Structure 1
């Protein structure tokens, strides 16, 4: 058993002004639009297509949506609070120095997304498609993530703290210091992608039968 020091992810530090210093807006984001220094409070985002849009120093608070498209969108120094969406499509989007608080999302489709110095706190995502995503210095705290597909992902210094993880798919993933040791993990598949995963001893014992089967080890009574 290899024991290594835990490297905690760097915490994001969004350069956000106070809410009262942002420009309050009820305008819905648009594709390829530049959205800078805005406070979107309670805006209905249902049906919004913000493909390739840019968000710099923005705060989206208490926004609701059925389906919203953020494919290729870029978020820098942003905060999203209490976002509720049935389906959020964020393929190939990028997020840097951002905070997401208490999101409630049915389906998060974000294959190829890039997250750097991002913190997610609380909330629930029923299905998260994070295939081929790149996460660096990302923290999940108190999140309920029912089904996570991270096949082919590249994650570095990612920490799940006091989270609930349902099915976690890691086929072909490349992990470095990805810590789930303080979270509840119900099922893991894709054992070829486990290298770099940090678990506690109880979690290791739960993984033992899968590891044995993967390696062709026969266990007898």
Structure 2
């Protein structure tokens, strides 16, 4: 009997390290909060900058660090964010929809409702923190890693994910209805609830997760399970 070659194991995308100066002193302290359609290159928005209620929609950030003391209601809708780090963001609501992010890290933040619908993320890492609701509907994620985050409710309805990994995360509820997944790794995360089980094609789950999801698969397939 001829041996069937094994398929190579899929690996999670590597964590992103932004191309920033090793010494943040090399960055220019921002003179004030960003504004809509503004352009910022190599600036540090530190704890002395209050981003609460700031509207920076359609702005451009290149090689910047955003580490504000407060950022409730900070609007980044439509922004272009490249080689940046956003850290310690605290907000009950953040409207960041339809932005384009590349080679960027979002770290150790606490956001209630995070609107990332229709974003385009390429080589982005979200690490740590807690997010009560993450709206990623119609988003496009390529080479994205979520690591060590408490994600209470994640809506991926209609999203397109390619080489995306959830590593050591808590996923309270994940909705993949109408989503397209390719090389999506869920194996090391605690997946508590799921909607759209019929759209899990292209995802990798663990044996424990599969056992938890079995009733959902049976219901989706119309299979009756006898006691």
- Pair in the same fold by TM > 0.5: yes
Counterpart Cα distance in 2 of 1:96 and 1:48:
22
Counterpart Cα distance in 2 of 1:58 and 1:218:
55
Counterpart Cα distance in 2 of 1:219 and 1:3:
32
Q: After superposition, what is the alpha-carbon deviation per residue over 1:81-131, rounded to whole angstroms, capped at 9, x for unaligned? A: 111111110111011000111011011011100111111111010100000
Residue of structure 2 equivalent to 1:201 = 207
Counterpart Cα distance in 2 of 1:91 and 1:35:
19
Alignment of 1:67-106 (within 5 A): 67-106=73-112
Counterpart Cα distance in 2 of 1:213 and 1:3:
30
Are 2:39 and 1:34 aligned?
A: yes
Residue of structure 1 equivalent to 2:219 = 213
RMSD (Å), alpha carbons? 1.4
Q: CA deviation at 1:159?
A: 0.7
Residue of structure 2 equivalent to 1:181 = 187
Q: Does structure 2 conserve the Cα–Cα contact (< 8 Å) formed by 1:40 and 1:63?
A: no
Q: After superposition, what is the alpha-carbon deviation per residue over 1:179-209, rounded to whole angstroms, capped at 9, x for unaligned? A: 1110101100012211111110010011111
Residue of structure 2 equivalent to 1:13 = 17
Residue of structure 2 equivalent to 1:154 = 160
Larger Rg: 2
Q: CA deviation at 1:26?
A: 4.2
- For structure 1, the 5+ residue unaligned runs are none
Moved over 6 A (4+): none
Aligned residues: 220
Counterpart Cα distance in 1 of 2:226 and 2:129:
43
Residue of structure 1 equivalent to 2:3 = none
Residue of structure 2 equivalent to 1:111 = 117
Q: Does structure 2 conserve the Cα–Cα contact (< 8 Å) formed by 1:54 and 1:75?
A: yes
